[in-house]
Amino acid sequence: MIIDERLSVFIDSLSWDIPQYLKETETAALNCSVPVIKRPVQTLLGFLLRLLNPLAVLEIGTATGFSSMLISEYVSEHTAIDTIEKVPARIEGALKNYKKYNKENRINLIQGDALDVLKMLVTKEKIYDFVFMDAAKGQYMNFAESVYKLLRDRGVLVTDNVLKDGEILQSRYAVTRRDRTIHKRMREYLYYLTHSGDFDTIILPIGDGVAVSIKKGEADVSKWKT
């Protein structure tokens, strides 16, 4: 946790309020050691979705379906919701939850590697008003070009876990060797969001760190990759 835990618990007590079925889904996922977006991020998503009222939402990283079902609670019944997942066990779990909570016709789960699916969606000229990215952290920079193309002008991109629970502050030599590649790629991604001119971005120290970005002009991510 990046901010003081007691402060976070106090804020949650004031603002966190989700339907009972989502609380049950959250508990079941955590009991199986499946990551779920943290409560401050849940509150942020709900606030932004109510504010923006998007017509089309894309989620990258479905897991058990918790966050896509959360999204469905804060948008119009006419809003299209697509979500991408490649891990078979998580696909099975998400589809089971969608069926259990009558979300089968509400949420479209696209199975496959996100990099390939995103390129396919670009080819189909899909456009989204809102993208929530919560997938493989080391791949964020690889997703960036397609995500940019899929967002409408002034569309919003929310990226979770960008500060890695504060670890991003450390020198790459202070993190374990196996985490150094992800550490380096996340720093590149954050620099791209804040310096490329493709997005207006604010980084919030909630959960494990969240970036909220608004799309600007034409993107060229090639110079930000190493």
Q: 110-149: per-residue pLDDT in tens?
A: 999 999 999 999 999 999 999 999 998 889 999 999 999 9
Q: If phi over 0 gives left and psi between -120 and 50 gives alpha, with beta otherwise, what is residue 5?
A: alpha
Q: What is the pLDDT of residue 173?
A: 44
Tens of pLDDT, residues 161-206: 898 654 545 555 445 555 556 667 888 899 999 998 999 999 998 8
Higher pLDDT, 82 or 171: 82
What angle in degrees, to the nearest 10, is found between the helix axes of 140-150 and 114-123? 20
Q: What is the pLDDT of residue 166?
A: 44
Q: Tell me, what amino acid is at 99? A: K
Q: CA angle, corner 140, sides to 142 and 171, nearest 5?
A: 110
Q: What are the E-state strand segments in the chain?
A: 56-60, 80-85, 107-111, 128-133, 151-160, 199-204, 210-215
Q: What is the mean pLDDT of the segment spanning 151-167?
A: 84
Tens of pLDDT, residues 22-66: 999 999 999 988 889 999 999 999 999 999 999 999 999 999 999
DSSP letter, residue 134: -
For each of the domains in the chain, give its residue range(s) and CATH number, in order of start. Answer: 5-216 (3.40.50.150)
Q: What is the pLDDT of residue 136?
A: 85
pTM: 0.87
122: Cα separation from own chain's centroid: 18
Q: What is the pLDDT of residue 156?
A: 98
Q: Please check the confidence at residue 209 and state whether its pLDDT lies above 80.
A: yes
Q: Give the 3-state secondary structure of residue 206.
A: coil
| CA pair distance 141, 162, nearest whole angstrom | 11
